[in-house]
Chain A
């Protein structure tokens, strides 16, 4: 990193200088950066271990400058549990997509959250399976067309999209559960705060933390990157409200 005192913007130390494989308009790159900035600012990089998912961000370890392990589809929370229990002094995070976390890995994330495992999950929800080519996800919107729901998601047969943040917030075990988005600069700044808080709570050995991030997939949604941002606002945001769903530092309400 540059030590030039005039430098006002740079690549976070927690990111490598590899070029990502993500499609044009994909927001994974933004979310990677928010995670990396949080690790840098909290001084956690040198004891951080990430767990890569299966999905578009399967190669995330190439883009970060911290130790990483690669999980099977959906199992990242189990790897994170095993690692964190054995090395409670380390900072552990999983980075998972919606097919990984809300479908094949539903059991692992619910039980890790319920045990109160002290790691952080970044959950990227773009309402579709990206890497396998645009199939229906558990978070796909009603009537949204995908390669396995060409007539649109039929809620009679596929049910309604799963709201993971709300679902995990029902658990009695204390945790930090929030949902942000990265489709506008304002939302990016807000989401950064959520991610940083999640890592801070972990570094204080407080609780399990998950930040869900609404994301776009122009390639598999079949719309251009700009229209994708609008599509997220119009379709996803009303169904997936942004905000903090559970916070161990809030003393009022049900979680007190």
Chain B
């Protein structure tokens, strides 16, 4: 298919269709309402379902019910709406259901604002709902990558029977970029031979999809079953990108999503000034590229790590954790919808290099 110019939110909707996901439940919220406005006419064209729910609480639970059919189901929302879905997310994780959720992140806490942010990192990566569970969390940096990850996320959700969340900031939802879809769209899956979906107890024993285990041992068994999946996910699903990483780098920048693209601009401009900086961009926030980031941070040429986020510093805690702070870690960020500029990134790099020069003189 030829490249199309498309708004991120609409491209995400079309990507789900390309993945054969025709069951969509949503509630309007800025800055992602365009997904529902697109899919409300697009899905019926191809025999799909769209339900505008009464709340995001209901959306999450409609996803639960729809996912139990074994068909591909998804929703899109933004930060406060995702908070309301945490109940169902926890239940779906506990019940081993494959679903895909998109969070087009806006600033918080509370009602916050409608401008782009990355401040739901903790919520997505560290829990959000109650209990021993994890989500696979993917963070695209462009509309094309959002489309590609959207399609892949359904496969990941089905491979591990787990909810997958794509976190993109409001900028990716709202901006228009050229994007290419697969030539061949996937057919909607047929779960009639599934060994877990609820298809009716015809010629087999009745099936139960649940997260309730009143016996402590059985609940622990379910949590261990979940953990065993997360071990496999940590082994197989790590995704990241390196940009201009070389043994000349003085500083390694860590950033994800849109923020990483802004850092690339800063890195290009610094290169012209003969200042070598590399970027490590985690694409999977869970599983986090742990060994890979440690390896990059531990390289002898790296003086310091600079983590940049559109928040007051959330991923930086994972950067500290996985690099075991082998190098000094600096943080820079803006939040509330204010986006750090390439100039601010460069200024932070100058500041760090100056500090190292001073330290060198002292020693």
Which A residues lie at the B interface, using CB under 8 A? Answer: 16, 45-49, 51-52, 58, 61, 64-72, 75, 78-87, 90, 107-108, 110-111, 115
**Count class of interface residues, chain B:** 35 or more
| CB <8 Å contact, B206 and A65 | yes
Judging by beta carbons under 8 Å apart, are B58 and A75 in contact? yes
- Does any Cβ of A come within 8 Å of B360's Cβ? no
Check A67–B200 contact: CB distance below 8 A: yes
A-B contact pairs, 26 of them (CB 8 A): A45-B201, A49-B200, A65-B201, A67-B201, A67-B207, A68-B208, A68-B210, A70-B95, A70-B210, A71-B91, A75-B58, A75-B61, A78-B60, A78-B65, A81-B62, A82-B62, A82-B67, A84-B65, A85-B49, A85-B51, A90-B200, A108-B57, A108-B58, A108-B61, A110-B54, A111-B53
User: Which of B54, B91, B202, B211 is in CB contact (< 8 Å) with A46?
Assistant: B202
B95 touches A81 (CB 8 A): no
Contact A83 B65 (CB under 8 A): yes
In the complex where A47-B200, A65-B206, A86-B23 touch, is A71 in contact with B49 (Cβ < 8 A)? no
Check A82/B63 contact, CB under 8 A, given A70-B95, A75-B57, A107-B54: yes
The 4 A-B residue pairs whose C-beta atoms are closest, nearest first, are: A82-B65, A79-B65, A78-B61, A82-B62
Q: Does B209 contact A (CB under 8 A)?
A: yes
- Candidates B61, B66, B91; contact of A85 at CB < 8 Å: B66
From B31-39, B68-76, B116-124, the one touching the partner chain is B68-76
Which residues of chain B are near A71, meaning CB under 8 Å? 61, 64, 91
Q: Are B65 and A81 in contact (CB under 8 A)?
A: yes
Distance from A191 Cβ to chain B, minimum over Cβ atoms (Å)? 24
Q: What residues on B are CB-neighbors of A108 within 8 Å? A: 54, 57-58, 61
B-chain residues with CB within 8 Å of residue A90 when the two chains form the complex: 69, 200
With both chains docked as a complex, state the minimum distance between the C-beta of A62 and any C-beta of chain B, in angstroms: 8
A69 with B198: CB separation less than 8 A: yes
Whether B66 contacts A83 by the Cβ 8 Å rule is: yes
A184→B272 CA distance, assembly (Å): 89
Complex Cα gap A69–B199 (Å) = 12
By CB atoms of chain A within 10 A, which of B62, B67, B203 has the most?
A: B62
CB contact under 8 A between A61 and B210, given known A81-B51, A82-B73: yes
Interface residues of B (CB under 8 A from A): 23, 25, 49, 51, 53-55, 57-69, 71, 73, 87-88, 91, 95, 198-203, 206-212
Q: Are B51 and A69 in contact (CB under 8 A)?
A: no
User: Distance in Å from the Cβ of A223 to the closest Cβ of chain B?
Assistant: 28
Residues of B within 8 A of A79 (CB): 61-62, 64-65, 68
For A46, the closest partner residue in chain B by CB is B202
Inside 8 A of B95's CB, which chain A residues have their CB?
A: 69-70
B51 touches A58 (CB 8 A): no
Contact, CB under 8 Å: B209 / A69: yes
Give chain B nearest CB distance to A244 CB in angstroms.
26
* Interface contact B210-A69, CB-CB below 8 Å: yes
Closest chain A residue, CB of each to CB of B97:
A69
Nearest CB in chain B: distance from A99 CB, A: 16
Contact of A69 among B57, B65, B73, B88 (CB under 8 A): B65
List chain A residues, Cβ under 8 A from B54: 107-108, 110-111
Contact with B210, one of A45, A49, A52, A82 (Cβ below 8 angstroms)? A52
Given the complex of chains A and B, what is the CA–CA distance between A39 and B172 in angstroms? 49
Interchain CB contact under 8 A, B212 and A70: yes
Q: How far is the CB of B314 from chain A (nearest CB, A)?
A: 27
Determine the residue in chain B with the shortest Cβ distance to A88: B49
- Which of B63, B68, B203 is most buried by chain A, counting CB atoms within 10 A of its CB? B68
List the B side residues contacting A68 at CB < 8 Å. 198, 206-210
Q: Are B200 and A82 in contact (CB under 8 A)?
A: no
Q: Contacts of B91 on A, CB cut-off 8 Å?
A: 71-72
19 additional A-B residue pairs with CB within 8 Å, beyond A81-B65, A86-B66 = A45-B201, A48-B201, A52-B210, A58-B212, A66-B200, A67-B200, A68-B209, A71-B64, A72-B91, A75-B87, A78-B57, A78-B64, A82-B63, A82-B64, A83-B66, A86-B69, A86-B73, A107-B55, A111-B54
Does A67 contact B88, Cβ atoms closer than 8 Å?
no
Q: Please judge, given known A-B contacts A58-B212, A70-B208, A85-B49, whether A46 and B64 are in contact too, CB under 8 Å.
A: no
Q: Are B53 and A78 in contact (CB under 8 A)?
A: yes
Whether A83 and B200, one on each chain, are in contact in the complex, defined by CB atoms closer than 8 angstroms, is: no
Residues on A with C-beta less than 8 A from B87 are 72, 75
Q: Look across to chain A and name the residue whose beta carbon is closest to the beta carbon of B58.
A: A78
Report chain B residues within 8 Å CB of A86: 23, 49, 65-66, 69, 71, 73
Chain B's closest residue to A69 (CB) is: B209
Residue of A nearest to B54 (CB): A111
Report the minimal beta-carbon distance from A245 to chain B, rounded to whole angstroms. Answer: 22
| Chain A residue with Cβ nearest B59 | A78
B208 touches A61 (CB 8 A): yes
List the B side residues contacting A67 at CB < 8 Å: 198-201, 206-208
* B16 vs chain A, min Cβ distance (A): 14
User: CB-CB < 8 A to B88: which residues of A?
Assistant: 72, 75
- B200 A72 Cβ-Cβ under 8 A: no
Among A69, A72, A82, A107, contact of B208 (Cβ-Cβ < 8 Å): A69
> In whole Å, how far is A81's beta carbon from the nearest beta carbon of chain B?
5
Q: How many angstroms from the CA of A108 to the CA of B54 in the assembled complex? A: 8
Q: Which of B63, B64, B71, B212 has the most chain A CB within a 10 Å cutoff?
A: B64
A69 touches B71 (CB 8 A): no
Partner of B66, one of A64, A70, A82, A111: A82
* Contact, CB under 8 Å: A82 / B25: yes
Tell whether, in the assembled complex, residue B200 and residue A48 are in contact, meaning their CB atoms are under 8 Å apart: yes
**Chain A residues within an 8 Å CB radius of B71:** 86-87
Q: Known interface pairs A69-B198, A78-B58. Does A83 touch B69 (Cβ–Cβ under 8 Å)?
A: yes
With a cutoff of 8 Å between Cβ atoms, the chain A residues found around residue B64 in the complex are 69, 71, 75, 78-79, 82
